[in-house]
A and B are shown apart, each in its own frame.
Chain A
Amino acid sequence: DTGVSQDPRHKITKRGQNVTFRCDPISEHNRLYWYRQTLGQGPEFLTYFQNEAQLEKSRLLSDRFSAERPKGSFSTLEIQRTEQGDSAMYLCASTQLGQITDTQYFGPGTRLTVL
């Protein structure tokens, strides 16, 4: 168990470009969550998967955002036509549904800066 990992840790891009982030959850965790954290704020829920199924999407997730978890393991979050307002820390978390505990384990995050 190596924890939740995210790649890249930092991404600087120009407005209008597409970016993709990857999250590797704790192995065998069947639930995976994406959150966004802007400066001075707490994380806000974006979407989550149970295995490969995307079960809920926040209204924060505009149609420029898409997330996948094709084999129920790692997940990707893509932002198309980035805007300066997309600059934030993108956090991934995972948990195992069915355990007594409902603890979500967070990765270190990907910090996105849109110029």
Chain B
Amino acid sequence: GDSVTQMEGPVTLSEEAFLTINCTYTATGYPSLFWYVQYPGEGLQLLLKATKADDKGSNKGFEATYRKETTSFHLEKGSVQVSDSAVYFCALSGPLMNRDDKIIFGKGTRLHILP
């Protein structure tokens, strides 16, 4: 079945460092890909998404590019802030407008940013 694999955490970086969180997926067809973020004490929030190959999703300085050839959707940010400390989930769902679009999540990567 469809699945998502992301790098294990925790990941600890200093403020202003470059961030990469790796994510690869297994799916039939052409899934939509997402990054969700869960800040301490808060609910899941959509960070960014991409719905077709070579699309780049971006938000709040974070970026991820849908790479079909490598089945990857790595999350990057050029300069992290303490406020970026959270758990990040890579996820996929069926193609856009699919009848059954439940989301399949990775296990999450906890990110700690040190001041």
Report which A residues bind B (CB closer than 8 A). Answer: 4, 33, 35, 40-45, 48, 55-56, 91, 93, 95, 100, 102-109
Contacts and interface: CB of A to CB of B under 8 A. Distances in A.
Nearest to B45: A106
Interface string B84-108: 0000010101001110111111111
Given A42-B108, A107-B43, A102 B102 contact: no
B42 interface: yes
Contacts of B65: none
Given A102-B32, A102-B97, A45 B102 contact: yes
B36 to A, nearest CB: 8
A93 to B, nearest CB: 8
Nearest to B9: A40
Interface string B21-32: 000000000001
A43 B4 CA distance: 12
Given A40-B107, A104-B103, A91 B44 contact: yes
A48 B100 CA distance: 9
A106 B105 contact: no
A14 B2 CA distance: 35
Nearest to A44: B105
Given A35-B103, A43-B89, A109-B43, 4 more contacts: A33-B103, A48-B102, A106-B36, A106-B43
B93 A102 contact: yes
Contacts of B44: 43, 91, 93, 106
